[in-house]
Amino acid sequence: MNLGLILLAALAGGLGAGARYVLDRLITTRTRTEFPVGILVVNATGSFLLGLLTGLGAAIVPPDLLLVLGVGLLGGYTTFSTVAVESVLAAERREFVVAAGNLLGTLVLSVALALGGIALGAGIAVGY
């Protein structure tokens, strides 16, 4: 693998993580709920964007750019581990509805938006 490409993906991952933090804080400070809305929005939008890139595919987006954006930027932006930890912490507080809602909501919404992104990207690619 190309060292330059690895470094670009790593840099993009850092930018994605920074964007995740900023968006999560913006949303979390404006909502008054124990439910982790900020991370749900991050993972849902990240799933849509990765789906869109996947749907567009190499016909439109060069493979190296797909790697940097998909693995790097969106890999740093989205976070499954935070969903898992927040769900465990909610369950430990006996907030079982929050824990289950976080897990199921993240999974269902993220998969639905990934499918939508893939469909949109594929539709754009066909017309390209």
Report the binding-site residues for Na(+): 75, 78
- Residue 33: C-alpha distances to residues 39, 77, 86 (Å): 13, 22, 13
Closest by Cα among 66, 53, 52, 23 to 113: 52
Question: How would DSSP label each residue in 13-62?
Answer: HHHHHHHHHHHHHHHHTT---SS-HHHHHHHHHHHHHHHHHHHHHHHHS-
